[in-house]
Amino acid sequence: MSTINAQNFGDGTDTVPASAVIQGTAKSWVNFNGQGTIATRDSYNVSSITDNGTGDYSLNFGDSFSNTTYLMAPGGQLDTAGGAGYSSIGFERIVSSKTTSGCRVNSGTAAGGHFDYLEVDILFVGDLA
């Protein structure tokens, strides 16, 4: 693997600093089945997933973040039953839900209550340690 060292990237018209590319790149992501026995379909920088209960999952990173100000962009699919697909996934409402090595997330329905998703998709952005 070769490394290109540059301070900026451009196409002749617009230029962005290399730091913008590095900062804006996902540092971890995962797509997993949250129903039945949980299973990772694909991932990057995720060592394991934990099923804590209905709609309650923990994710652990392979390479830790440098601090806990990273963010997640969640999405997913509740099921294939038809109808509107409003998903709701967020960090669990406890102090320890977010550490540099992992986080705990809940999934639910727009109507409220935990729900096991057919597909949980989460992308993380931040600084790695």
Partner 1 sequence: MIDYPQYKLHERELIFKDQHKDLPEPSYAIMWEDPADPDAPMKVTKPSPTWLAMAMHGDILPPVEVYHALAEDEAQPGFKRHTRGHLLHDTQPVPAMTEQEAMEYLVKKDIPARVWRDYKGNRQILKIVPVHMIPTNREFRNSWKINQEAA
Report the interface residues with partner 1, using CB under 8 A: 1, 27, 30, 35-40, 43-54, 58, 60, 62-64, 66-67, 99-102, 116, 128-129
Indicate the residue among 15 and 69 with the shorter CB distance to partner 1: 69
Indicate the residue among 102 and 108 with the shorter CB distance to partner 1: 102
Long-range (24+ apart) CB contacts under 8 A made by 79-86 are 79/35, 79/117, 79/118, 80/118, 84/110, 86/110
Shortest distance (Å) from residue 99 CB to partner 1 = 6
Shortest distance (Å) from residue 69 CB to partner 1 = 9
Closest among 79, 89, 84, 82 to 123, alpha carbons compared: 89
Q: How many CB atoms lie within 10 A of CB 84?
A: 6
Shortest distance (Å) from residue 109 CB to partner 1 = 15
Indicate the residue among 88 and 102 with the shorter CB distance to partner 1: 102
Strands of 19-92, DSSP E: 28-33, 39-44, 46-53, 56-61, 71-77, 87-91
Shortest distance (Å) from residue 73 CB to partner 1 = 18
State the number of CA atoms in the 13 A half-sphere of 108 facing the CB.
10
Indicate the residue among 1 and 11 with the shorter CB distance to partner 1: 1
